[in-house]
Structure 1
Amino acid sequence: MVAVENELEAFLVDLEAMPLAALRAEWRERWGPPPRLRSPRLVRHLIAWRVQAAAYGDLTLDDRRRLKACSLPKLQTLKEGSRVAREYQGVIHEVTAERHGFRDRERDYRSLSAIAREITGVRWNGPRFFGLRPGAGHAR
């Protein structure tokens, strides 16, 4: 068992230095087509997880359920007629939830994200922008 642990530790150390192309090749060799992820860090973590789970055992179904239950963000849903507001660069934006979307400044939108993008000019998660998601930052 010690030899397996040492071999695994050496592999994990080597994994840290691998560029994305090498990580994808490693994945392909072990499990087939690699994920389409572009983040070497994320692919590295996924490989390390799979290799360690194979060596030491994976999470139980109960553990997975508990982790999923506590990790999902608790998104507040807006009922029709609800309003949310956000000040951005000195301007207050008040949005009203409607039956099939949202209304802001006499315009209809399908999502809060579309409104946030219109306001800021960059892609934003709408519920996060309007403070409806835990940890919503009002930076930018």
Structure 2
Amino acid sequence: MAARLDPIPAASAAGTSLEEELATVAAANLDQLRPRFRALFRVPARDCLSRDVVARLIAYRLQEQRLGKLDRSLAEQVDRLGRGQEPLRRLKPGTVLVRQHDGSMHEVMVVPGGFLWNGETYASLSTIAKRITGTSWNGPRFFGLRTASKKHAPKKVAVADAADA
């Protein structure tokens, strides 16, 4: 006959730190985790879920309760990454984008409020790409910040971040 296992407490005791709760979850077996899962999610853990998955879900919920949920934009970014999509890039002021076109090298610096090219500030990379090429371009694609079909992919030259300097 198997020994009876006590479930881990459904609610944290006063003064228990998040780290202590997470350590308790990490040390528990599946039979101990199931009642805690039910208390936190108000549904039983499916039988197909492994001990590791149940423990991770519990740990996430505990952290969520103590520290708060992800903000909407970060949750959307995590979702995109989970689907295999490329992350959105945020360019910091001081970042320099370099692109060669028709034998000329073009440098664009990210500045507060836009992009600096040839001594003028523009609101979008697409405007700069059109000035360089004479045709309509998606600016981020032209400067290699987004992927394009292989047929139209520009050659990337360099991207230097202000933090690297």
Shorter-chain TM band: 0.3 to 0.5
Greater per-residue helix proportion: 1
TM-score scaled to structure 2, two decimals?
0.40
Higher relative contact order (CA 8 A, sep 6+): 2
Higher-Rg structure is 2
- TM-score, length basis structure 1: 0.47
